[in-house]
């Protein structure tokens, strides 16, 4: 590969050189959404984080098989073994077949991710499409002695597993503490210990989503789906498993236990976790009223927002922080992101207007490798952006005539934005109407501004002012420059 990538491995709590098992192939699995509600910021962050990694791995020469699942069964309200199925509950409330709920929210998740320019994964399997394999894996874990059946349900036996392996290897929870505080439940419960978790649950009569199994008519536990779908499409051993930090325990810890129980060793080399998003310093929560859906950002309809924010502003806002830092959302921070993004895009669009000099008076060449170095350092996007802002200062100095730039350096600046801002950070120019009608309209606006220039030359200030004022009222920003004019949409 052309670049040596270092990534932070949550498993070992340190940065490690990325070495895939079967270079140039990379297998990567990321936990996708539970499709029972509108996609929100909490969905955007992991999707954008691992989209960045997917893009970068391919950019530096890997062939990546990226699997991201759709959870459409087994995720209970408690995020544990109790409560109603999240999708089943929504279906009951809306009087729909659960799969109608799944389809509806899968479609809206896809629409939102497309808006955010998140690339589709190579394979997007759904949990309900792999119940058969989940039953098989549960049987294998039973056969190995790391699970027990109880009243038609099957539970993973954490204590027995921990005697042979290490439960807590990822979360670094102290298993003795865990078992101590969750002593045996004296038969009050189907589970022997509360640390145990369901691999298969017998369905109650009102539970709609149900399949036949050797133990009962029921449904798979939440954790087993990811163990099954990752290894089915990436093999028993694969490179990267990603997800939000909120999934580290118990979900990912349980995944490791399940795969290790069957294979005798863990499946994943690198575990990667993106950090959380807070809203004005507070955790997001439906009950807190600060749960902003992506559609609400895009149309500005949430009460915490002052206006609509284009998807690219949300994407940029998230990438301004390193993926392992908390992102705190506020209207002020969004405004700042909008301004900063506009500054970068304007600079990138105005490179062509810089006069070409024989030699540059400023150093440009080193920026590219500096950006790569930042990407190689665990995808350090804020540092990448700081280099792009350095490039922006150079471009603006070139436009103002303060610095001179050679054709070679102008091309280098063009490349820099193309590679890092557009291809890797995935930022599209916000006016993405660059089709033939857009070009026609562009020409019409230019015609008006040339008529204004002409009026100015004729000292016909009334006409010149009228054109500027009418265009401003229509929604354009008009700027006079030493060489003529620039315009943009407000």
Q: Is 443 in the site for a copy of itself (CB under 8 A)?
A: yes
Query: Alpha-carbon distance 357 to 409, whole Å?
Result: 10
Q: Which is nearer to a copy of itself, 205 or 475 (CB)?
A: 475
- 433 forms part of the interface with a copy of itself (CB under 8 A): yes
197 or 200: whose CB is closer to a copy of itself? 200
Site string for a copy of itself, 355-394 (x = CB under 8 A): ----------------------------------------
- How far apart are the C-alpha atoms of 374 and 361, rounded to whole Å? 25
Binding mask 7-46 for a copy of itself (x = CB under 8 A): ----------------------------------------
Residue 458 in the binding site for a copy of itself (CB under 8 A)? no
Q: What is the C-alpha separation between 22 and 35, in angstroms, rounded?
A: 33
Q: In the 8-state DSSP scheme, what is residue 378?
A: T
CB of 89 to a copy of itself, least distance (A): 18
Does 208 sit near a copy of itself (CB under 8 A)? no
| H-only helix segments in 404-435 | 407-416
Interior/surface letters 149-179, b for 16+ CB within 10 angstroms, e for the rest: bbeebbbbbbbbbbeebebbbbeeeebeebb
- Contacting a copy of itself (CB under 8 A), which of 445, 453, 456, 486? 445
Residue 375 CB, nearest approach to a copy of itself (Å): 26
Contact, 427 vs 315, CB < 8 A? yes
Q: Does 149 bind a copy of itself (CB under 8 A)?
A: no
Query: Which residues does residue 273 pair with via DSSP β-bridges, in sequence order?
Result: 243
Alpha-carbon distances, residue 61 vs 21, 58, 372, 446 (angstroms)? 15, 5, 14, 42
Given the complex with a copy of itself, which of 133 and 190 has the nearer CB atom?
133
Dist CA 427 CA 329 (whole Å): 19
Element (H, E) at 208: none
- Cβ(422)–Cβ(428) under 8 Å? yes
Q: Are the C-beta atoms of 222 and 76 separated by less than 8 Å?
A: yes
By CB under 8 A, tell whether 132 contacts a copy of itself.
Answer: yes
Query: Which residues, including other chains, have CB under 8 Å from residue 360's CB and lie 6 or more apart?
Result: 403, 404, 405, 406, 409
462 lines the binding site for a copy of itself (CB under 8 A): no
Closer Cβ to a copy of itself, 35 or 385, answer by number: 35
Question: Token pair for residue 166?
Answer: 């290490």
Closest-CA residue to 200 (of 134, 142, 154, 137): 154
Tell me if 86 contacts a copy of itself by CB under 8 A. Answer: no
The residue whose two tokens read 């649950």 is 201
> Counting contacts by CB under 8 A, is residue 233 touching a copy of itself?
yes
Q: Is 440 in the site for a copy of itself (CB under 8 A)?
A: yes
- Side-chain-side CA neighbours of residue 82 (13 Å): 7
Interface residue with a copy of itself, options 4, 97, 177, 411 (CB under 8 A): 97
* Paired tokens of 337: 């992101």
Whose structure tokens read 């790569």? 372
Task: Return the closest-CA partner of residue 118 out of 44, 178, 51.
Answer: 51
Among 214, 441, 461, 465, binds a copy of itself (CB under 8 A): 441
- Figure out which of the listed residues 15, 22, 172, 212 binds a copy of itself, where binding follows CB under 8 A: 212
- Site membership for a copy of itself, residue 216 (CB under 8 A): no
Tokens of 330: 């506020």
Output b/e per residue, 345-378; b: 16+ Cβ within 10 A: bebbebbeebeeeeebeeebeebbeebbbbbbbb
DSSP state of 289: T
Q: Which stretch binds a copy of itself (CB under 8 A): 10-18, 330-338, 375-383, 432-440?
A: 432-440
Q: Which of 4, 78, 82, 120 binds a copy of itself (CB under 8 A)?
A: 120
Judged by CB, which is closer to a copy of itself: 219, or 420?
Answer: 219
The footprint of a copy of itself on residues 402-431 (CB under 8 A) is 431
Verify binding: residue 471, a copy of itself, rule CB under 8 A: yes
Is beta strand 197-202 parallel, antiparallel or unpaired with respect to 25-30? unpaired
Q: Of 121-129, 170-178, 220-228, 259-267, which part binds a copy of itself (CB under 8 A)?
A: 121-129
If the CB atoms of residues 164 and 217 are measured against a copy of itself, the closer one turns out to be: 217
Residue 387 CB, nearest distance to a copy of itself (Å)? 30
CB of 91 to a copy of itself, least distance (A): 12
Q: State the residues that interact with a copy of itself by CB under 8 A.
A: 65, 97, 99-100, 102-104, 107, 110, 120-126, 128-132, 136, 211-212, 233, 431, 433, 436-441, 443-445, 447-448, 451, 467, 470-471, 473-476, 489-490
């Amino acid at each position: 590969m052309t670049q040596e990538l270092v990534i932070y491995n949550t498993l070992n709590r340190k940065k490690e050189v990325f070495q895939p098992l079967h270079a140039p192939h990379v297998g990567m699995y990321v936990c996708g959404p539970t499709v029972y509600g509108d996609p929100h910021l909490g969905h955007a962050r992991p999707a954008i984080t691992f989209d960045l990694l997917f893009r970068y791995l391919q950019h530096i020469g890997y062939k990546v098989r990226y699997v991201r699942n759709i959870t459409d069964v087994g995720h209970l309200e408690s995020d544990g073994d109790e409560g109603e199925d999240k999708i089943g509950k929504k279906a009951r409330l809306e009087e729909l077949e659960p799969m109608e709920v799944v389809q509806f929210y899968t479609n809206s998740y896809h629409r939102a991710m497309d808006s955010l320019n998140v690339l589709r994964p190579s394979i997007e399997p759904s949990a309900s499409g792999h119940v058969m394999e989940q039953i098989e894996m549960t049987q294998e874990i039973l056969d190995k002695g790391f699970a027990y059946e109880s009243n038609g349900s099957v539970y993973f036996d954490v204590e027995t597993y921990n005697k042979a392996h290490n439960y807590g290897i990822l979360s670094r929870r102290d298993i003795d503490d865990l078992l101590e505080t969750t002593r045996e439940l004296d038969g009050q419960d189907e589970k022997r210990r509360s640390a145990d978790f369901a691999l298969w649950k017998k369905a109650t009569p009102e539970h709609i989503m149900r399949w036949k199994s050797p133990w009962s008519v029921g449904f798979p536990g939440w954790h087993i789906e990811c163990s099954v779908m990752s290894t089915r499409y990436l093999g028993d051993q694969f490179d990267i498993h990603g997800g939000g930090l909120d999934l580290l325990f118990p979900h990912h810890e349980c995944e490791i236990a399940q795969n290790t129980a069957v294979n005798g060793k863990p499946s994943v080399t690198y575990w990667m976790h993106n950090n959380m998003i807070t809203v004005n310093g507070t955790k997001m929560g439906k009950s807190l009223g600060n749960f902003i859906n992506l559609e609400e950002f895009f149309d500005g309809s949430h009460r915490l927002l002052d206006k609509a924010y284009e998807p690219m502003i949300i994407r940029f806002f998230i990438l301004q922080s390193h993926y392992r830092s908390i992102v705190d959302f506020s209207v002020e921070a969004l405004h700042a992101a909008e301004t900063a993004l506009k500054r970068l895009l304007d600079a990138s669009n105005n490179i062509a207007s810089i006069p070409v000099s024989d030699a540059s008076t400023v150093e440009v060449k080193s920026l590219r490798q500096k950006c790569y170095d930042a990407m190689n350092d665990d995808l350090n996007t804020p540092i990448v952006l700081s280099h792009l802002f350095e490039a922006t200062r150079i471009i603006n100095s070139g436009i103002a005539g303060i610095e001179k730039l050679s054709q070679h350096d102008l091309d280098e600046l063009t490349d820099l934005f193309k590679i890092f801002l557009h291809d890797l950070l995935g930022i599209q120019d916000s006016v993405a109407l660059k089709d033939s009608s857009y070009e026609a309209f562009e020409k019409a606006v230019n015609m008006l501004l040339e008529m204004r220039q002409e009026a100015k030359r004729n000292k016909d200030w009334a006409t010149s002012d009228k054109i500027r004022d009418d265009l401003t009222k229509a929604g354009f920003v008009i700027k006079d420059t030493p060489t003529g004019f620039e315009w943009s949409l407000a």
